Amino acid sequence: MAWNHANGIKLSVSSVRRNPPECIESRAKVTSKMNQILAELDAASRSALPLMLDLNGNVAENSVANFFIVREGSIWTPPDRNILEGVTRKVVFELCSRLSIPLIERYFTMYDVAQAEEYFITSSAICATPVSEVDGFTPKRSVPGPITTQLIEAFAADTGYGFHLADKFCSPLEKEDEI
């Protein structure tokens, strides 16, 4: 499934759970990614990418990316206890501070996802990518939503690359004198 910044991507909750930190330290980038691979295969059977839950049923992360929702005007992301502390996730924290977007680390469930205005994932390879659906739930706002768009534009301004709501992966920003 291609990353699609214009229309978003589809996620599906995997029956494979995120390894708890009591078994494998969540910050460790280990060579065995068996749970993530199994989650990928599980979601692929539904033509989607996986969204993994922790053992308590809270939303954790995608197999290769951090997951965020926008709810009540704030960005919510799971605490770093059960997820990989992504570099790009930290950039989102910095951008939210700079752009005065409230960001809350908290546990949340699929109920919260169903009520959310926007969803997106982040990783170093894809920066911020909108999510258009999670198991039939769709964000309450258009995809990408205004806060996700603000973050994508801030990433583009900071990096010089536009993920810019185009179907392409990362393309250099057009220079004004070339327009």
Digitized pLDDT (tens) for each residue of the chain, 179 residues in all = 455 667 889 999 998 887 666 556 555 565 567 788 888 888 888 999 999 999 999 999 998 899 999 999 999 999 988 888 889 999 999 999 999 999 999 999 999 999 999 999 998 887 889 999 999 999 999 899 999 999 999 988 888 776 654 544 443 444 344 44
What domain range is 139 assigned to? Answer: 9-168
Residues 101, 97: Cα–Cα separation, whole Å: 6
**Which residue of the set 10, 29, 140, 175 is catalytic?**
29
Structural domain contains residue 89: yes
Q: Domain containing 145 — which CATH number?
A: 3.20.10.10
C-alpha dist (Å) from residue 178 to 56, 133, 163, 165: 53, 36, 18, 19
Structural domain contains residue 122: yes
Structural domain contains residue 58: yes
- Six-digit token pair at 55? 């053992």
Structural domain contains residue 174: no
Structural domain contains residue 1: no
Structural domain contains residue 178: no
C-alpha dist (Å) from residue 172 to 36, 94, 95, 111, 122: 31, 23, 20, 38, 19
Report residue 149: phi and psi, to 5°: -60, -40
Residues 40, 19: Cα–Cα separation, whole Å: 15
Structural domain contains residue 77: yes
Number of independent structural domains in the chain: 1
Q: At what angle do helices 87-99 and 146-159 cross, to 10 degrees?
A: 110
Active site residue 29: yes
